[in-house]
Amino acid sequence: MTQRIARRFQISTLAAHLVLIGFTLLALAPTLLVIMNSFKPRKEIFGAPLALPSFETITLIGYDTVLKRGDILNYFQNSLIVTVCALFFIILFGAMAAFALSEYRFPGNRLIGLFLVMGIMVPIRLGTVGILKLMVSLGLANTLFALILVYTAQGLPMAVFVMSEFMRQVSDDLKNAARVDGLSEYTILFRLVLPVVRPAIATIAVFTMVPIWNDLWFPLVLAPGESTRTMTLGAQSFIGQFITDWNAVLAALTLAIVPMLILYLMFSRQLIRGITAGAVK
Amino acid sequence: MGKLVLEGISKRFGAVEVLKTVDLDVADGEFIVIVGPSGCGKSTLLRIIAGLSDQSTGKVLIGGRDVSSLPPSKRGIAMVFQSYALYPHLTVEGNLTLGLKQARTAASLIAERVAEAVRILALEPFLKRRPGELSGGQRQRVAIGRAIVRHPEVFLFDEPLSNLDAALRNQVRAEIADLHRRLGATMVYVTHDQVEAMTLADRIIVMNGGIVQQIGTPSELYRRPANAFVATFIGSPGMNMVAGTAGGGVLTLAGSGRLPCSAAANGAVTAGIRPNGFEILPGGNDGLAGTVIASEYLGAESFLRVRLADGTVVTVHEHPDHGWLIDQPVTLRLRPGNLHLFDAASGVRIAEGPDAAAQPAAARVA
Ligand SMILES: Nc1ncnc2c1ncn2[C@@H]1O[C@H](COP(=O)(O)OP(=O)(O)O)[C@@H](O)[C@H]1O
Ligand SMILES: [Mg+2]
Name every residue whose Cβ is closer than 8 Å to that of residue B122 and which is 6 or more positions away in sequence.
B141
Of B223, B247, B278, which residue sits at a domain end? B223
- B171 in the same domain as B204: yes
**Contact yes or no for A173 and B99 at CB 8 A:** no
Of B36-50, B81-95, B253-267, which range is least confident? Answer: B253-267
Domain assignment of residue B308, yes or no: yes
Stretch B282-307: mean pLDDT, rounded? 91
pLDDT category of residue B360 using cuts at 50, 70 and 90: very low
Q: Are B365 and B287 in contact (CB under 8 A)?
A: yes
Q: Which CATH superfamily hosts domain A59-272?
A: MetI-like (1.10.3720.10)
Alpha carbon distance A207, A201 (integer Å): 10
Q: Domain boundaries in chain A?
A: 59-272
Which of A28-32, A247-251, B44-48, B285-289 is predicted most confidently? B44-48
The alpha carbon of B18 and the centre of ligand 1 are apart by a number of angstroms equal to: 7
Question: Nearest 5°: phi and psi at B305?
Answer: -105, 125
What's the rounded Cα separation, in Å, for the pair B18 and B211?
9
Q: pLDDT at position A2, please? A: 58
> What pLDDT is stored for residue B61 in this prediction?
96
Q: Which of B223, B248, B273 is the last residue of a domain?
A: B223
B300 part of a folded domain: yes
Q: Which pLDDT score is estimated for B10?
A: 96
Residue to test with chain B: of A180, A185, A190, most B Cβ within 10 A? A180
Tell me if B110 is assigned to some domain. Answer: yes
Give the closest residue to A95 by CA, choosing from A176, A18, A191. A191
Contact B73 A177 (CB under 8 A): no
Confidence of residue B355 (pLDDT cuts 50, 70, 90): very low
The confidence score (pLDDT) of residue B7 equals 95
Within a domain: B362: no
Q: Is residue B232 part of a domain?
A: no
pLDDT (0 to 100) of residue B240? 94
- Closest residue by CA, ligand 1 atom 16: B41
pLDDT at B362 over 50: no
Stretch B310-339: mean pLDDT: 90
pLDDT band at B353 (very low <50, low <70, confident <90, very high): very low
**Across chain B, what does the average pLDDT equal?**
90
For the segment B251-279, the average pLDDT, to the nearest whole number, is: 83
Count how many domains chain B has. 2
| Cα separations in angstroms, A222 against A23, A149, A237 | 36, 11, 17
Residue B212 has pLDDT above 90, yes or no: yes
- B103 Cβ under 8 Å from any chain A Cβ: yes
Residue B229 belongs to some domain of the structure: no
Q: Are residues B111 and B143 in the same domain?
A: yes
3-class SS at B90? Answer: coil
State which H helix or E strand residue B66 sits in: strand B65-66
Residues B91 and B207 in one domain: yes
Cis? peptide before B131, omega within 30° of 0: no
Q: Of A39, A35, A32, A45, whose CA–CA distance to A63 is shortest?
A: A39
* Predicted pLDDT of residue A260: 85
B160 and B264 fall within a common domain = no
Running DSSP on this structure, what letter comes out for residue B69? T
Has residue B18 been placed in a domain?
Answer: yes
Query: Measured between CB atoms, which of A171, A174, A182 is closest to B99?
Result: A182
* A176 with B87: Cβ contact below 8 A: no
User: Which structural domain range is residue B104 located in?
Assistant: 4-223
Cβ B162 vs Cβ B130: under 8 Å: no
Cα B159 to Cα B45: distance, rounded to the nearest angstrom: 13
Give per-residue pLDDT as tens, B103-145.
Answer: 899 999 999 999 999 998 999 999 999 999 999 889 999 999 9
- State which of B223, B246, B262 marks the end of a domain: B223
CA distance B189 to A55: 79
Alpha carbon of B346: minimum distance to chain A alpha carbons (Å): 37
Residues B55 and B192 both lie in one domain: yes
Q: Are B169 and B200 a contacting pair, CB within 8 Å?
A: no
- Give the separation between CA B129 and CA B136, rounded to whole angstroms: 14
Do B46 and B139 share a domain, yes or no? yes
Nearest to A181 among B83, B88, B99 (CB): B99
Residuewise pLDDT in 10s, chain A (281 residues): 556 666 777 888 899 999 999 999 999 998 888 888 888 888 878 887 777 777 777 888 888 888 887 688 888 899 999 999 999 999 999 999 999 999 998 899 999 989 988 988 988 999 999 999 999 999 999 999 999 999 999 999 999 999 999 999 899 999 999 999 999 999 999 989 998 888 888 888 888 988 999 999 999 999 988 889 898 888 887 877 777 788 888 888 888 888 888 888 887 776 666 555 443 43
pLDDT per residue as tens digits for the range B4-23: 999 999 999 989 999 999 99
What's the pLDDT at B359?
39
Q: Which of B91, B95, B99, B98 is nearest to B73 (CA)?
A: B99
Distance, CA of A193 to CA of A167 (rounded, Å):
7
Instruction: Please indicate whether, in this complex, the C-beta atoms of A176 and B146 are within 8 angstroms of each other.
Output: no
Q: Over 90: is that where the pLDDT of B48 sits?
A: yes
Q: Is the pLDDT of residue B69 over 80?
A: yes
Q: Which has the minimum average pLDDT: B18-27, B90-99, B121-130, B254-263?
A: B254-263
Asked if residue B361 is part of any domain, the answer here is: no
Please tell me the distance from the alpha carbon of residue A269 to that of residue A271, in angstroms, as a whole number. Answer: 5
- Transcribe B120-157 into DSSP letters: HHT-GGGTTS-GGGS-HHHHHHHHHHHHHTT--SEEEE
CATH number at residue B304: 2.40.50.140
- B61 by DSSP, 3-state: which? strand
Q: Is A241 helix (H, G, I), strand (E, B) or coil?
A: coil
What value of ipTM does the predicted structure carry?
0.84
Domain CATH for B35: 3.40.50.300
